Amino acid sequence: MNNQPHVAIVGATGAVGREMLICLSERNFPLSKLTLLASVRSAGQKLTFRGEEITIQELSADSFEEIDIALFSAGGGISEKFGPVAAEAGCVVIDNSSAFRMDPAVPLVVPEINPDAAAIHPRNIIANPNCSTIITLMGLAPLHRAFGLKGIIASTYQAVSGSGAQGIAELENQVQALASGAPIEKQIYPHQIAHNVIPHVDAFQDSGYTKEEQKMLHEGRKILGLPDLKVTCTCVRVPVMRSHSISLTAIFEKDPSVAEAQAVFANSPGIKLVDDPASALYPVPLDTTGQDDCLVGRIRKDQVLPNAIALWVVGDQVKKGAALNAVQIAELL
């Protein structure tokens, strides 16, 4: 890989694409050239990067001939169509969709957890995990290394920005409608999201779990290298603009004390301990929004299961849960 690679962002005008642009700039990523790609609707628009205006080009099969690394954030259908095309052209694709995550030949990478996995990518594709999975495992991987993870019981509290700009607009419109007495309109969510929570993220499966809930199981097993990891998860949409929160009960081989679990996070990259409930200090979404690190707190012994710890993890799903993680993978390359 060239030390000054030519990088492309596919889906540059979307929320995650724009956040990728910010991450590349903030981290002073060493690129020789940046190409921005999007649909025909966005072609010709300009975005600013390091003080320079870059014109967005229409995505096509010929877009990748001189690209070294392509950060994809344009949805699974675009990734399935253009990801293999880019890879065939010699470009390494870092894909933010679910299209390739469970392909045995495609590594699924969180750089703080399994960086070595990025080194072997026979299809020239590396997958970015689901945002909730990333945030959850940022809190659990350090504990796993210390105590041996066996199982997870999780409930996610997922912000509306996880549904894109339309999710944000729906919450804003409904809050305004409630304030003015206007009728509530629902387009993105099956129920009113303002002043409400909805235990329904992604499509329901025959098992009764949603696809989003099953991602925690399948992706967690792959990233941690734990094929027998047991996971049960409930994913809930909440009226929060940005940053996902996860309530966790984690079951281990060893029996950690609260102090031992807290000590694990002292030297864990990408995560900070915020755990002083007596002073009302614990992770909340507003404190992680726009931040690189995930926050962990409310660490306590589980009162039902042996060798189990309860904890609360919060992270910006647009940043660490998507854009930043992809840029960190590019840094590994």
Give the Cα separation of 247 and 252 in Å (integer). Answer: 16
Q: Parallel, antiparallel, or unpaired for β 149-158 and 244-252? A: antiparallel
Q: Of 91, 235, 244, 294, which is the active-site residue? A: 244
Query: What would the two tokens of residue 201 be?
Result: 């993220």
**What is the CB neighbour count within 10 angstroms for residue 206?**
5
24: left (phi over 0), alpha (psi -120 to 50) or beta: alpha
Helix (H) or strand (E) holding 178: helix 165-180
Q: Of 91, 131, 233, 235, which is the active-site residue? A: 131
- In DSSP notation, 12-64 reads TTSHHHHHHHHHHHHTT---SEEEEEE-TTTTT-EEEETTEEEEPEEP-TTTT
Let me know if 131 is a catalytic residue. Answer: yes
**What is the CB neighbour count within 10 angstroms for residue 313?**
26
Q: Which residue has the tokens 């903030």?
A: 26
Give the Cα separation of 178 and 34 in Å (integer). Answer: 44
Backbone phi, then psi, for 257, in 5-degree steps?
-80, 165
Measured CA angle at 282 (ends 279, 285), to 5 deg:
135
Query: What would the two tokens of residue 219 be?
Result: 């992706």
- In DSSP notation, 235-265 reads EEE-S-SS-EEEEEEEEESS---HHHHHHHG
Angle between helices 211-224 and 131-147 (to 10 degrees): 40
Torsion on CA atoms 190, 194, 200, 201, rounded to nearest 10 = 100
Query: What would the two tokens of residue 141 be?
Result: 């991987």
Residues noted as catalytic: 131, 244
